């Protein structure tokens, strides 16, 4: 059974025209015209292009539209012969999509590792960083009083001592303790220690001068 491609080729040759001449007249690429004549519809951009090219080619050669399209439909099975894009392009597109998916997966894995690392560091930062300790009082270095207030803020869950005596820490990390001092120079040692043994030590020198 003669196909539309063979019919088009026979009529073109009988009219003494080359593919290039038909291409120039119909504005259809010569490579597409050749593919139609050989029945290689896979090489055309799409099924709608295949139908349009065949129709225009046949009309140009003087073949009735109904006859040409009947022959075309009889030999053209889109599901078997054709995919929306040329096979090579489809494979390339699939490879491209696969590459994008791989990169996306790697990015997600890297992001999860960073988040996990950040979470673990936050949870166990006390193992690497000494506890924070801020002293707001005493704000002076010389006094005539025999008792000074030591106050400040420390990282929660720390063990706090002032001159080796334990100090109660409030829920917000603040603390206050009255410390006895004696005439002359006094060194007040404030020490914060976390559960991993990391320490922060601050010393305050207070000199007590006699009022006489």
Strand ranges (DSSP E) for 155-212? 159-162, 165-166, 174-180, 184-193, 199-208
Residues 143 and 101 grouped into a single domain: no
Q: What's the structural domain count of the chain?
A: 3
Residues 202 and 158 grouped into a single domain: yes
CATH number of domain containing 191: 2.60.40.10
- In 10 A of CB 154, how many CB atoms? 25
Name the least confident of 6-10, 26-30, 92-96, 117-121: 92-96
Residues 78 and 116 grouped into a single domain: no
Residue burial 24-45, b: 16+ Cβ < 10 Å; e: rest: eebebeeebbebbbeeebebbe
Residues 79 and 94 grouped into a single domain: no
Boundary of a domain, candidates 84, 110, 145: 84
Residues 77 and 35 grouped into a single domain: yes
d(CA 201, CA 194): 12
Residues 150 and 175 grouped into a single domain: yes
Residues 167 and 140 grouped into a single domain: yes
Residues 75 and 92 grouped into a single domain: no
- The tokens describing 209, both together, are 């001068």
Mean pLDDT confidence for 101-120: 90
pLDDT digits over 47-105, tens only? 888 889 999 999 999 999 888 888 888 888 766 654 444 555 445 555 566 778 888 99
In the block, tokens 């820490």 appear at: 169
CATH number of domain containing 20: 1.10.260.40
Residue 202, C-beta contacts closer than 8 angstroms, at least 6 positions apart: 133, 135, 189, 190, 191
Q: Give residue 155's domain range.
A: 133-208
Q: By three-state DSSP, how is residue 77 classified?
A: coil
In the block, tokens 């894995």 appear at: 109
Strand ranges (DSSP E) for the chain? 133-137, 142-143, 147-154, 159-162, 165-166, 174-180, 184-193, 199-208
d(CA 165, CA 176): 13
pLDDT digits over 157-207, tens only? 899 999 999 999 999 999 999 999 999 999 999 999 998 889 999 999 999
Structure confidence at residue 199 (pLDDT): 93
Residues 120 and 143 grouped into a single domain: no
Structure confidence at residue 20 (pLDDT): 95
Residues 9 and 66 grouped into a single domain: yes
Residues 9 and 80 grouped into a single domain: yes
Residues 105 and 79 grouped into a single domain: no
Axis crossing angle, helix 47-61 with helix 19-26, rounded to the nearest 10: 100
Boundary of a domain, candidates 54, 84, 114: 84
Q: Tell me which residue of 78, 94, 70 sits closest to 42, measured CA to CA.
A: 78
């Amino acid at each position: 059974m003669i196909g539309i491609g063979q019919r088009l080729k026979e009529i073109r040759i009988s009219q003494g025209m080359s593919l290039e001449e038909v291409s120039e007249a119909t504005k259809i690429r010569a490579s597409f015209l050749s593919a139609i004549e050989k029945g290689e519809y896979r090489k055309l951009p799409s099924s709608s292009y295949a139908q349009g090219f065949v129709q225009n080619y046949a009309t140009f050669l003087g073949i009735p539209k109904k006859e040409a399209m009947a022959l075309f439909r009889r030999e053209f099975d889109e599901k078997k012969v054709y995919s929306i894009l040329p096979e090579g392009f489809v494979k390339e597109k699939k490879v491209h999509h696969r590459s994008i998916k791989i990169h996306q997966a790697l990015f997600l894995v890297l992001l999860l590792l960073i988040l996990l690392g950040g979470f673990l560091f936050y949870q166990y930062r006390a193992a690497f960083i000494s506890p924070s300790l801020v002293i707001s009082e005493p704000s002076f270095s010389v006094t005539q009083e025999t008792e000074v207030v030591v106050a400040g803020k420390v990282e929660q869950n720390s063990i706090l001592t002032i001159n080796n005596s334990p100090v109660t820490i409030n829920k917000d990390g603040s603390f206050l303790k009255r410390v006895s001092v004696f005439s002359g120079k006094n060194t007040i040692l404030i020490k914060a220690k976390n559960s991993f043994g990391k320490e922060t030590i601050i010393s305050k020198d207070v000199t007590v001068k006699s009022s006489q």
